[in-house]
Amino acid sequence: MRDLPPMLHSGAPRARTIPLHRVPSAPAPAPSATGWMVQSDFDGTISLEDVTDSLLERFGRPGWRELEDAWERGDIGSRECMKGQIALLDMSVGELQAHLATIQIDPHFPGFVREARRLGLPVQVVSDGLDHVIRTVLELHGLGDLPVIANRLVQTGARSWQLQSPWASAACSRASGNCKCERLAEQQAAHGQVLYVGDSTSDFCVSGKADFVLAKYKLIDHCLSHGIAHAPFVGFDQATVLMRDIVTVRERVAA
């Protein structure tokens, strides 16, 4: 795990972004020879748990659950909810990094990425979670080169944090920090077809616009009830086989 440099001080703590591997700019994967690319959610899809929730459970000050309840009732959007929750985190950089070192991902996800690349499919992680969190976990599992689009985690003090949302959209129906529907449209314009992989509520809207969905957990019932073309899966070993079959069959049909 990479050590983070100490905070810079000049009177009051200066807000700074903890070191990131990439700045928020629209990733531009090389055009796919197959006409397909893969976008995948992170929390609960690639990771075995929702990492933001685990941080709040461990380091959140009182009030974050009330924000969660307000979001679930539909009183506030996910961006407003998460902005308030991140402001309630009470943790040091060291505590953050130590916690991230305990996060496990689906053991078959690296193989899924290798197979996608062998087939000529770019893979992009699109999340309404936290960029540094995702990139750190992926790097710890040898996947630090995957492009990630997510909210920015910014340190504002020795134990205080802020959420920034450079990928938000005023047109987002979920009022998310990262509008997954816009990210999907960008990749459809670049590649033609997007295979979307997700698991839960933050994937509901985008799943209806994807060309095909690999769904787990709550997303399965959502796809069934809305007539969305999908295949259910539990782990990325199954998702790897499904991806290969979907791309191969649709290529034959197109030919």
What is each CA distance from 199 to 23, 41, 44, 48, 232, in whole angstroms?
26, 8, 7, 11, 10
- Any idea where the domains of the chain sit in the sequence? 33-254
Per residue in 98-139, pLDDT (tens digit) is 999 999 999 999 999 999 999 999 999 999 999 999 999 999
Tokens at 113, concatenated: 């990425």
Nearest Cα to Cα of residue 195 among 180, 214, 218: 214
Given a cut of 80, whether residue 252 has pLDDT beyond it is no
Whole-angstrom distance, CA of residue 2 vs CA of residue 140: 9
Per residue in 174-224, pLDDT (tens digit) is 899 999 999 999 999 999 999 999 999 999 999 999 999 999 999 999 999
Contact 178, 128 (CB under 8 A): yes
Q: Which CATH superfamily is domain 33-254 in?
A: HAD superfamily/HAD-like (3.40.50.1000)
The rounded radius of gyration (Å) of the Cα atoms in the chain is 18
Tokens at 232, concatenated: 């259910």
Tokens at 31, concatenated: 């055009």
The separation between the first and the last C-alpha atoms of the chain, rounded to the nearest angstrom, is 47
